[in-house]
Amino acid sequence: MTAPPEDFGFGRPFDRAGTGSSKWARAAGPPGAVIPMGLADMDLPGPPAVARALAQRARHRAFGYTVCDPSGRSLVARWYRERHGVTVDPAWVMLLPFGPRTAVRLLLEAVRPAGPVLFPTPEWGGFAQLCRAAGLPYEEVPLERDGAGYRLPVAGLAPHRGGAVLLSSPHNPSGRVWTGAEVRTLAGAVAEAGAVLVSDEVHGDLTHPGHRHPVAVAEAGPYRERTVTLNSVGKTFNTSGLPSCFALVPDGALRERLTAVMAGFGFWEGGLLEQEVQQAALRHGGPWLDALLAHLASARDRLTGLLGGAVLSAPEASYLLWVDAAALGLPPAGARAALLERCGLEASDGADFGPGGRGALRLDYALPGPVLEAVLERLARLR
């Protein structure tokens, strides 16, 4: 007899009051008046295994400098083998005590691109911010779109000699899963230009049932030494408040340069609580993640069914919905404010995702069942 699936509480109310939530700090007004959907952060209870690991470590009241546990590299490699069916050499793995945004910034220092950094638009706004902070020129290349959603403009992303290409895979803001062929072709074009592809795959473990996430260093094949994959348990397991990530860097020389850059900023591999969270999540978080993905796919179907053609690209991963403001009857130039005023829903402004995002909104639907019901009811007012 098969045991029933474990209930992780996704269908029940979950109150984040008193936790210092950045997301809920954006919800101005009386309790319940505004539902924040703008920040990519889940309003769902995280994996019990992570909570247990943190509680157990806290019982030992020594919180000093901590060495990197090398077994974490093999654990990451096992995760990729079992979760994604790809082979990752543990020697490629760097266990980083900061979030993916910092990792991209330090990688730009280590790569030292000779020409403008390229990335698509619309795209996660952090890429543009990081390039400006590094004093690097950048070019935003419009994504292509067909009846199913966005496609990578591989020809347009052909980099300058010695340059760099940044990519969110799956796509942020739309949740589109790039195909293996798109990633392979892009990796080849980047390598042939002597450039580096940095694939930010923090939403990759959140690929919905029926879709496959193409891990860039695996898809790159003979071009893998010009490719870097970034990932984190932060998005996957809702632990972004304890920043950490891991980088898959097949090129040993680039690993050495990144290590030297990190040391210059006072960073070393490992981290005290970061390692506890990573290892607990990767060892024991699989059942929780499976239940989460089923919950997200159900929420996705209900929202896309309600909003129809307003959805600009069908989400295939994560918990992000990218919608056309005009198709919802909202003024493109002030859509975020109009949605807040009419429905009490706070969203991300599409303009924050580059020129290709103007007139769009991004909504986060990683919500408990009762909150999702309220969101659906409020959005129905626009139809």
Quick: pLDDT tens for 46-72.
999 999 999 999 999 999 999 999 999
- Residue pLDDT, tens place only, 98-111: 999 999 999 999 99
Q: Are residues 292 and 280 in the same domain?
A: no
pLDDT of residue 173: 98
Helix boundaries (H) for the chain: 22-25, 48-58, 71-79, 100-111, 126-134, 180-192, 216-219, 233-237, 252-264, 272-284, 286-307, 335-343, 369-379
For 154-200, the pLDDT digits (tens) are 999 989 899 999 999 999 999 999 999 999 999 999 999 999 999 99
Residues 100 and 195 both lie in one domain: yes
**Are residues 248 and 116 located together in one domain of the fold?**
yes
Amino acid at 253: A
Contact between residue 255 and residue 217 where contact means Cβ atoms under 8 Å apart: no
Q: What is the rounded distance in angstroms from the CA atom of residue 268 to the CA atom of residue 246?
A: 12
359 and 278 housed in the same domain: no
Number of domains in the chain: 2
CATH number of the domain residue 242 falls in: 3.40.640.10
Look at residue 306 and tell me whether its pLDDT is greater than 60: yes
Domain holding 255, by residue range, is 71-284
Same domain for 36 and 94, yes or no, is no
pLDDT per residue as tens digits for the range 311-330:
999 999 999 999 999 999 99
Residues 80, 127: Cα–Cα separation, whole Å: 25
Give yes or no: residues 279 and 291 share one domain: no
Does 62 reside within a domain?
A: no
Same domain, 94 and 182: yes
pLDDT of residue 4: 46
Which of 284, 319, 350 terminates a domain? The answer is 284
How do beta strands 345-346 and 348-349 pair? unpaired
Distance CA 80, CA 357 (A): 32
pLDDT digit string (tens) for 260-291? 999 999 999 999 999 999 999 999 999 999 99
What was the pLDDT predicted at 5? 57
Whether 32 shows a pLDDT value over 90: the answer reads no
**Dihedral, 19, 20, 22, 27 alpha carbons, nearest 10:** 80
Where among 241, 266, 284 does a domain terminate? 284
Cβ pair 322, 360 in contact under 8 A: yes
83 plus 209 within the same structural domain = yes
* 302 and 354 co-located in one domain: yes
- What does the mean pLDDT of the chain come to? 95
Q: Is the pLDDT of residue 3 over 50?
A: no
Indicate whether 56 belongs to any domain. Answer: no
User: Is residue 27 very low, low, confident or very high in pLDDT (cuts 50, 70, 90)?
Assistant: confident
Instruction: Assess if residue 13 is contained within a domain.
Output: no
**φ and ψ of 325, to 5 deg:** -60, -45
Helix H, strand E, coil C: the string for 90-105 is HHHEEEECCCHHHHHH
CATH (domain of 366): 3.90.1150.10
Among residues 284, 300, 315, which one ends one of the domains? 284
Q: What is the pTM of this model?
A: 0.95
272 with 310, same domain: the answer is no
The percentage of residues in the chain with a pLDDT greater than 90, rounded to a whole number, is: 93
Is 182 within the bounds of a domain? yes
How do residues 352-372 score in pLDDT, each as one tens digit?
A: 999 999 999 999 999 999 999
Whole-angstrom distance, CA of residue 144 vs CA of residue 41: 27
In a domain, residue 57? The reply is: no
* Closest by Cα among 379, 380, 335 to 357: 335
Determine the average pLDDT of the residues in 91-103. 98
User: How big is the chain, counted in residues?
Assistant: 383
Residue 10 within any structural domain of the chain: no
User: Do 193 and 340 lie in a common domain?
Assistant: no
- Residue 15 in any domain: the answer is no
Would you say residue 29 has pLDDT above 90?
A: no
pLDDT above 70 for 84: yes
The reply to whether 53 falls in a domain is no
